[in-house]
Amino acid sequence: MQRSANAVWTGNLKQGKGTISTQSGALTNAQYGFNTRFEDGAGTNPGELIAAAHAGCFSMALSLALTEAGLTVDTIKTTAKITLEKQESGFTITASYLELTAKVPGAQESQFLEIANKAKEGCPVSKLLKAEISLDAKLEA
């Protein structure tokens, strides 16, 4: 299986503009640029898209792992916060912090945390990132 997205960029870094489109059409010519990555401009940016991919991938991996453990998932809500730092070699994504709240009837806290941490390690996007990945998980009653 392969999935694709494309980016088109025109101009220099600070004044230039770009668009991102995905194979599925979920994003079509979505605007991005210096102001959307390093300031609060309108549009998206690569870090935000990686955060979305990580949150979505982890949520799916957790759903699978909970189901395989015989549990029924009500809801899984994940926020991923990506840290972009300037280092000697240039900008680097150094961390992804996953914040999870889930409703899983009948799950015990210790079992839930063990499964969530395994899903964090097993998520394909987690495996792709060369960054510290942390998880704060909460099981709702």
pLDDT at residue 61, as a whole number? 97
Backbone φ and ψ of 34, nearest 5°: -55, -45
Q: Is the pLDDT of residue 41 over 80?
A: no
User: What residue spans define the domains of the chain?
Assistant: 5-38, 46-140
* CATH superfamily name and code, 46-140: K homology (KH) domain (3.30.300.20)
Task: Return the minimum-mean-pLDDT range out of 33-37, 44-48, 102-106.
Answer: 33-37
pTM, to two decimals: 0.88
pLDDT at residue 35, as a whole number? 79
Residue that is written with structure tokens 């309108």 in the block: 42
pLDDT averaged over the chain? 92
